[in-house]
Amino acid sequence: MSNDLSLERTPPTRTHWRRRVAAIGLMLGAIAGSGTAMAQTTPKPDWSLADMPSQAGRFFLVTGGTSGMGYEDAKALAAAGAHVVIAARNAERGREAMDKIRQETPDAKLQFEVVDLANLDSVRALGRRLGTTLPRLDGLINNAAVMALPQRGVSADGFEMQFATNYLGHFALTAELLPLLRKSASPRVVTLSSVAIHRGGLDLDNLQSDKAYDPYAAYAQSKIACLMFAFELQRRSDAAGWGIQSMAAHPGIAVTELVARGPGLDSEQGRRWAAGKDQLHSAAQGAIPTLFAATAPGAVGGAYYGPTGTNEMRGPLGLATVPTVAQDATTAARLWDASEALTGARFR
């Protein structure tokens, strides 16, 4: 049986009207102050780790922090003094990542937690553990991902694997950690999207890609959902007074393990990637938009950061291009409702 939900229009409830009023208010506010907002959200193009303020006393969680950009996020935050929770599936790789970070930052405050984002029981268990061990959470970086799996697979809960890992797992994890985030004086949630979103769309009637599966279309859909989630979380935080700054970021195209673990290095994309990887961002360069969003005083909720070079594949830091579908607050609200129903997660 499909895990997609029937998303036919229903008569607006009082909750729907409150959401629409809140969205209209946010839109009018953005229009009224558009010049100031643009100045605030445009980062310094050459922003680097040298510009990162001290993160001493702050608590962060990074998913997928054992390799690639997640590892670079964890390393940079630890070097800046933060207590960093690395959440990933493999405990051995977690220990190796922490050992490597401590070689450069001997006094790094690190903690590893096992989580499988493709298993909602695992996500809920992580939320329960952290709820009893952390005093608060100042930053959540929803980074972990799988890309372009050649064959359609399903998660422990029966969802298409890319949609489950990249989006639904992070949606549920953010809900689980909302109480900890709300204990922070200035919580931030940064959710990773991808330059690949411009090659795909969002089909609310085929969220699980069970009607037709294309590896790259499924990946793009999961990352469009991540971007829409980041924007919708900001709208709901503003309406409910959660105090969260929710932002999205993407790395352009960076040299990580995504290709090897997805389509494979012997695939057509893998061969193209290998031939051109000297022209791509390193994982450390790819992490800059995320780290800016997570730490910079000038980063603002509702923004989307990434490289500004050709096709946004690499280059100086700036505001990333938002596709039309991700700008639709009505569709984002429907996706949110569907995600709550699929995961059982509630934001409160």
The residues annotated as belonging to the active site are 219
Give which of 138, 116, 232 is closest to 186, Cα–Cα.
138
Q: Which two tokens stand for residue 7?
A: 């998303």
Helix (H, G, I), strand (E, B) or coil at 26: helix
Q: How far is it, in rounded angstroms, from Cα 88 to Cα 201?
A: 28
3-class secondary structure, 179: helix
Please give the distance of CA 1 from its chain centroid, rounded to a whole number: 28
Between CA 168 and CA 171, with CA 170 as vertex, the angle to 5 degrees is 60
With contact defined as beta carbons under 8 Å apart, do 120 and 172 qualify? Answer: yes
Cα torsion angle, 61, 63, 67, 73, sign: negative
Q: Do 194 and 256 meet the contact criterion of CB atoms below 8 Å apart?
A: no
The residue count for the chain:
348
Q: Distance between CA 243 and CA 179 in Å, rounded? A: 12
